[in-house]
């Protein structure tokens, strides 16, 4: 599937009142497009888009209005407030002041995947607060800001979590009751998944490829993998990458930068940052310890 891009959005980001800062173009994300920008006051109408639009306000409060025809409603939205607009609907909106935002454009396929393949109708929302969605949006922004193509598994994991939260907390109508604790992967499935991770340790590895190795949908795979290992696919893969990096640093002669790239990290600094955060040490210290 092709990377999601600006052409798949509703058109807000192409307007002259938008000052773009950074976006996910070039990272290869198929189901999510993320951008950060400074927005100036405007009032405009936009045609229906194929993606679901989620906007996180990074500052404020600022007055936002949305509506159709003569029917409009307004709200003063604080920092951390959300604007949600479902795919396939025209959008009429007015922004009353300058604002820094993160936009996330999510495919309907990702939303269905998070709901076990069933369609989901999202609510139109203005000013809603959802701490989990806020943290997921900030985490995705962090991946874009650091520009880490090797973090594909992590980005897929965040996308799946965002889609699941929208499907279960921001859907139109009543929410469905919980389904209990999921069962884990079989030993055969787990073996196939781990072998795939080890073969492609140096590559950006989409969660969809891991799910296919287990013959499961992405949502089923993610739940069952967590039940089996206690970790998300990204966390587990990162641990394998760190284990191999430590082994190569102790026993090989490659430079730290070469070790980093061969183990799926973008560069030496990326490996150093992750190793310090997760293991409390650095590649140089591991090499010295032998």
- pLDDT recorded at residue 57: 96
Average pLDDT estimate for 42-50: 94
- pLDDT recorded at residue 278: 87
Average pLDDT estimate for 12-38: 95
- Provide the angle, in degrees to the nearest 10, between the axes of the packed helices 152-169 and 233-251: 160
By DSSP bridging, strand 62-68 and strand 18-23 are unpaired
Closest CA to 30 of 104, 110, 120: 110
Counting runs of H as helices and runs of E as strands, what totals does the chain give? Answer: 10, 10
**The pLDDT of residue 86 is above 90:** yes
Q: For a pLDDT cut of 90, what percent of the chain falls above it? A: 78
Mean pLDDT computed over every residue of the chain: 91
Q: Name which residue leads in pLDDT, 1 or 207.
A: 207
Q: How far is CA 181 from the centre of its chain?
A: 24
As a whole number of angstroms, the distance between CA 164 and CA 168 comes to: 6
Q: For the ranges 146-150, 168-172, 274-278, which has the lowest average pLDDT? A: 146-150
As a whole number of angstroms, the distance between CA 239 and CA 104 comes to: 28
Distances (CA, A) of 149 to 24, 46, 50, 144, 154: 10, 31, 25, 9, 10
**The pLDDT of residue 151 is above 50:** yes
As a whole number of angstroms, the distance between CA 231 and CA 253 comes to: 32
Q: How far is CA 247 from the centre of its chain?
A: 30
Decide: 80 and 57 in contact? Cβ < 8 Å: yes
pLDDT band at 242 (very low <50, low <70, confident <90, very high): very high
Average pLDDT estimate for 10-32: 95
- Cβ-in-10-Å burial (0-12, 13-18, 19+) of 286 comes to buried
198-231 per-residue burial string, b: 16 or more CB within 10 A, e: under 16: eeebeebbbbbbbbbbbebbbbbbbbbbbebbee
Q: For a pLDDT cut of 70, what percent of the chain falls above it? A: 95
Q: For the ranges 1-5, 75-79, 243-247, which has the lowest average pLDDT? A: 1-5
pLDDT in tens, 55-80: 999 998 999 999 866 678 899 998 99
- pLDDT recorded at residue 173: 73
Average pLDDT estimate for 92-111: 96
Strand order in the sheet with 71-77: 42-46, 91-95, 62-68, 71-77
- pLDDT recorded at residue 182: 55
pLDDT in tens, 173-190: 744 433 444 578 888 899
pLDDT band at 158 (very low <50, low <70, confident <90, very high): very high
Residues 6+ apart with CB under 8 A from 46: 10, 11, 12, 90, 91, 92, 93
Please, which residues bridge with residue 104 across strands? 34, 54
End-to-end CA distance of the chain: 44
* HSE-CB of 64 using CA atoms within 13 angstroms: 27
**The pLDDT of residue 232 is above 70:** yes
Decide: 204 and 28 in contact? Cβ < 8 Å: yes
Decide: 249 and 241 in contact? Cβ < 8 Å: no
């Amino acid at each position: 599937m092709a990377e999601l891009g600006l052409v798949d959005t509703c058109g807000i980001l192409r307007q002259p009142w938008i000052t773009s800062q950074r976006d996910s173009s070039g990272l290869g994300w198929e189901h999510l497009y993320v951008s950060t920008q400074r927005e100036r006051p405007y009032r405009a109408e936009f045609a229906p888009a194929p993606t679901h639009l989620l906007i996180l306000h990074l500052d404020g409060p600022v007055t936002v209005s949305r509506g159709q025809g003569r029917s409009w409603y307004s709200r003063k939205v604080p920092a951390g407030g959300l604007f949600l607009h479902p795919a396939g609907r025209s959008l009429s909106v007015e922004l009353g002041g300058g604002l820094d935002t993160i936009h996330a454009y999510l495919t309907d396929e990702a939303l269905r995947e998070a709901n076990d393949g069933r369609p989901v109708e999202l609510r139109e929302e203005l000013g809603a607060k959802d701490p989990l969605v806020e943290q997921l949006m900030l985490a995705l922004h962090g991946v874009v800001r650091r520009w880490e193509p090797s973090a594909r598994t992590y980005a897929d994991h965040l996308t799946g979590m965002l889609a699941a939260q929208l499907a279960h907390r921001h859907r139109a109508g009543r929410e469905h009751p919980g389904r209990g604790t999921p069962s884990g992967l079989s030993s055969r499935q787990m073996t196939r998944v781990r072998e795939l991770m080890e073969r492609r340790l140096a590559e950006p590895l989409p969660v969809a490829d891991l799910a296919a190795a287990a013959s499961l949908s992405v949502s089923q795979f993610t739940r069952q993998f967590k039940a089996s290992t206690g970790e998300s696919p990204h966390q587990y893969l990162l641990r394998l990458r760190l284990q191999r990096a430590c082994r190569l640093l102790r026993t090989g002669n490659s430079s730290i930068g070469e070790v980093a790239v061969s183990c799926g990290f973008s560069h030496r600094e990326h490996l150093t940052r992750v190793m310090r955060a997760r293991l409390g040490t650095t590649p140089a210290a591991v090499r010295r310890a032998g």
